Structure 1
Amino acid sequence: MLNFIKNFRNDEDGAVTVDFVVLTAAIVLLGLAVGAAIQSGARGLANNIETELKNVKVTP
């Protein structure tokens, strides 16, 4: 019984794995949130650039 308690106390592989899975999921969700937040601004900027480029008059 004493060996079981020592092994149980020293065995932390599962806890470390869970920690890394949770941290990885948080990083992925944070990246998705940032991407969604800047998506509309980037799309608007691209549309403004497109409009300006279409209005450029080139004279020979």
Structure 2
Amino acid sequence: MIKFIKSFCHDEDGAITVEWVVLTAAVVGLAFLSYDQLEASNEVVLEATGEAVATAVDYLE
């Protein structure tokens, strides 16, 4: 029984899976942060574009 416990403690077959899960979670977290930053900057550009189009339409009429 002690031999089984020692071999179980030294077995590293699942360690790589844990590393990939952590790495994947980090990538997903960074993707969410990037999306949030891009969305905030896109709002400014879309508002400016909308105002420019509205001004151009008013100018043409």
TM above 0.5, yes or no, is yes
State percent identity of aligned pairs.
27
SS at match of 2:33: helix
Matches within 5 A, 1:1-60: 1=3, 5=7, 9=10, 11-56=11-56, 57-58=59-60
- Normalised by the length of structure 1, the TM-score is 0.72
Q: Going by fraction, where is helix more abundant, 1 or 2?
A: 2
Structure 1 residue runs without a partner (length 5+) = none
**Cα distance in structure 2, aligned partners of 1:23 and 1:39:** 24
Q: Deviations over 1:11-50 (max 9, x none)?
A: 4331011000000000000011111122211101101001
* Deviation for aligned residue 1:8: 6.4
- Normalised by the length of structure 2, the TM-score is 0.71
Total equivalences in the alignment = 56
